[in-house]
Amino acid sequence: MAEEKKEPEKEEPDVGKDDDVLAFILSGEQLTAKIKTKRGDFVVALPLPRDLRAIEMDISDRLGNRPMDSFSNQKIADIRAYATLDKVVEEAPGWWQMLDSAEDCPDDSLIMELYRGYLQFYTRSQKSIARSKFKGDDRVGKPRIKTEAVGSGAFQGIANR
């Protein structure tokens, strides 16, 4: 009997239907989504551009600052997934919290399932931002400032080790 490949369950971002996503983010709130897997539920957060820059710098560090053509495309994709998950996973099962990095998880299919779920969430979020009717509002505050990681995720702060 062939085993069926199950797609991760994904919930829509934690923003009410009437909320404008861009205003929500600019008010300092964090856009998140839950990804349900066979190994437990994970919550990922939408990174700000500064967080994406930190992820790219982390990737460079993990590559030993060597040229990208020194590595296979698959290895670069793996490193990108690990670096991203280390920054965007906000909540995870207890066993995941015990890891120093997503690189310590030997379940490649779980890593790719989580990363795929994050990419789908990121794409949906960017589409919602593009549809935003936001034109400025006094209620909007200063966006959250995270210098080392997206938030208080399982691997917060490892970027600057």
Q: pLDDT digit of tens for each residue in the chain (161 aa)?
A: 444 444 444 444 545 555 788 888 888 889 999 999 999 999 999 999 999 999 999 999 999 989 889 999 999 999 999 999 999 999 999 999 999 999 999 999 999 999 999 999 999 999 999 988 888 765 556 555 544 455 555 544 444 33
Residue 18, in any domain of the structure: yes
- State which residues form the domain around 25: 9-160
115 lies in some domain: yes
CB 108 within 8 A of CB 74: no
pTM of this structure: 0.75
Residue 1 lies in a domain: no
User: Residue 28: its pLDDT value, please?
Assistant: 86
Neighbours of 2 (CB within 10 A): 4
Residue 2 lies in a domain: no
Considering the domain boundaries, does residue 3 fall inside one? no
pLDDT at 139: 58
Question: What pLDDT shows up at residue 135?
Answer: 81
Please count the structural domains in the chain. Answer: 1
Closest by CA position to 12, among listed 28, 31, 30, 29: 31
Please name the residue that has the structure tokens 């909540």: 91
Contact indicator for 93, 148 with CB cutoff of 8 Å: no
Question: pLDDT value at position 68?
Answer: 87
Is 121 part of any domain?
Answer: yes
What's CA 79's distance to the chain center, in Å? 14
